[in-house]
Copies of this chain bind each other. A is one copy, B any other.
Amino acid sequence: MRDLPTVVARMWGRELVSRRGPRRGLTLQQITDAAIAIADAEGLAGVRMSSVAAGLGVSTMALYGYVTSKDDLLTAMVDAAAPEPPEQGDLSWRGYLSAWTRANRDFLASRPWLLQVAPLTPPVGPCTLRWLDRSLTALTGTGLTAAEAVNITATLSAYAVSAATLATAMSGTVDEAGGEGLDGYTAMLTRLVDADGYPGLTAALESGAFGVAPEWVEDADFAFGLTLLLDGIEALVARRKEG
């Protein structure tokens, strides 16, 4: 059986402690915390091995005793930046998944830099795997197969990512797509698109569908799509119950 990747081992507290030599001056936690603080403040671009090290008062190369590469650091950051998933309490599966997806979206939206890293990194840390687990657990007893539950979880998670991406793009934080967030973007589209080639889009632009305020996106819009998904799932559960 092959060894766990070192960062993964350290994320789970499975590092083998050594007896000889100086004690370690840092923890992976301290490092990820410092890196996260920088990412929150300056965005992902501000996260350099040197800047993280500087934040901790150690040399750049000291970090390589804890992570084998910058990618490792990013992976660890994702897990450390995620909050704990919500408690199930006595919620129905539907109530729980609704809360789960909303909480998922909320923390992604509060840390836009996660959107550039998390979607490409499969969950490997204790916390992100707990998110996966809680969703699967909530679906236990609905009669769905495990594979279906996994699939549903992936879909809900994708929805959370999409909603967070949208919300972030609206406030123009992530990406200066055309100047200043949404307004610049719609202005640009209006200039580019003509009714012949892009009838649906033109109509949408004219009706101001893109001009919605961020706070609308942040709730009613989100709930709308989520309901779509949950209705679909509920229909499936019902089918399974009777079949």
Interfacial residues, chain A to chain B (CB-CB below 8 A): 1-2, 4-5, 8, 12, 115-116, 119-122, 124, 126, 129-130, 132-140, 145-152, 154-155, 157-159, 161-162, 165-166, 169, 174-175, 177-179, 184-185, 187-189, 191-193, 197-201, 203-204, 207-210, 212, 221, 224-225, 227-233, 235-236
Contacts and interface: CB of A to CB of B under 8 A. Distances in A.
Contact of A124 (B8, B140, B177): B177
Given A133-B200, A134-B200, A159-B155, A210 B119 contact: no
* A interface: dominant SS: helix
Contacts of A232: 227-232
Contact of A209 (B149, B212, B225): B149
Copies of this chain in the oligomer:
2
A167 B147 CA distance: 14
28 contacts: A4-B188, A5-B188, A8-B188, A12-B192, A115-B119, A115-B120, A119-B119, A126-B192, A129-B198, A129-B201, A130-B197, A133-B193, A133-B199, A133-B200, A134-B200, A140-B200, A145-B209, A146-B204, A149-B209, A150-B210, A152-B228, A154-B225, A155-B162, A155-B225, A155-B228, A157-B162, A158-B165, A235-B235
Contacts of A124: 177-178, 188, 192
Name the residue in A136, A157, A185, A236 with the highest tally of chain B Cβ atoms < 10 Å from its Cβ: A136
Contact of A192 (B8, B140, B161): B8
Given A129-B198, A133-B198, A151-B221, A175 B228 contact: no
B137 A199 contact: yes
A155 B143 CA distance: 26
A175 B120 CA distance: 8
A143 B179 CA distance: 33
A147 B201 CA distance: 11
Contacts of A129: 189, 192-193, 198, 201
Given A146-B207, A158-B161, A161-B158, A132 B201 contact: yes
Contacts of A138: 200
A175 B71 CA distance: 11
